[in-house]
Amino acid sequence: MVQAVLFDLDGTLLNTLPDICKSVNEALKKFSYPPVTPEQTKAYVGDGARKLIERAVPAGAADTEACYEYFRTLFASSDNALTFPYEGEIALLKRLKAANVKLGIVTNKPQDAALRAVKSRLPEVEFDFIGGDTGDFPCKPDPSLARYAALTMRVFPEDCAFVGDGETDVKTARAAGMFSVACLWGYRTREQLEQAGATRFARDFSQLGELLFST
């Protein structure tokens, strides 16, 4: 059985899409850019806040950096009112903790926004590591933060599972030498994940538990 599980955050532990879309559109409105739809937002997320805004603003926009900075301020102070965990998630996380499995989060979400979201929406779960985008490590799919998480939790990378809903998560797990599980309840399709190299899938948290406890 694995000794630690690292999770992506957006689309994996929390459905944050409505709040992300809301903050993006508030930032776009401030700079007189057209809004994006939830489906567009879903396609744009996964590679960090800066890439999200670069994809959301019109091509050739002059205020991309200012829009990004404004979005970060908005997002960091979000009340996460539209964000929620997935069915069966809390029960599995508590079961893993009871089995002495360490739990971590490795996300491309800005660190301050990640901490706020976890505190407000997963207060009953004790995570051993929460790592977001601070500028100290490259964003996923670079494996540096995932490996640092394993080091911090005193677990070898090969004894860690990495669970995520995006192409970047599949690539991060492979590069870090971790047991990869691609979840199908998030923001990418099975076909997209397969194209990124995923070979192991979980349709829900019940199936994820079966995979983790049989490893």
CATH class of 17-76: mainly alpha
Asked if residues 201 and 190 have their Cβ atoms less than 8 Å apart, the reply is yes
The pTM of the full predicted model, rounded to 2 decimals, is 0.94
To the nearest 10 degrees (0 to 180), the angle between helices 111-121 and 64-76 is 30
- Sheet order of strands, 179-183 included: 129-133, 102-110, 4-7, 160-164, 179-183, 201-202
pLDDT digits (tens, 9 = 90+) for 148-178: 999 999 999 999 999 999 999 999 999 999 9
Per-residue pLDDT, 76: 84
Q: Which fold has domain 4-15+83-213?
A: Rossmann fold (3.40.50)
Mean pLDDT by runs of 10 across the 215 residues of the chain is 96 97 97 97 94 95 94 90 97 97 97 95 97 96 98 98 98 98 97 97 98 92
Q: Give the start-to-end residue ranges of the domains of the chain.
A: 4-15+83-213, 17-76
DSSP assignment of 78-119: ---TT-EEPTTHHHHHHHHHHTT-EEEEEEEEEHHHHHHHHH
Asked if residues 163 and 183 have their Cβ atoms less than 8 Å apart, the reply is yes
Contacts with 205 (C-beta within 8 Å, 6 or more apart), sequence order: 86, 87, 88, 89, 91, 92
Closest CA to 43 of 34, 52, 31: 52
- Show which residues are catalytic: 8
Per-residue pLDDT, 193: 98
CA distances to 81, 110, 133, 149 from 161, in Å? 30, 22, 20, 12
Q: Which residue has the tokens 């979400």?
A: 109
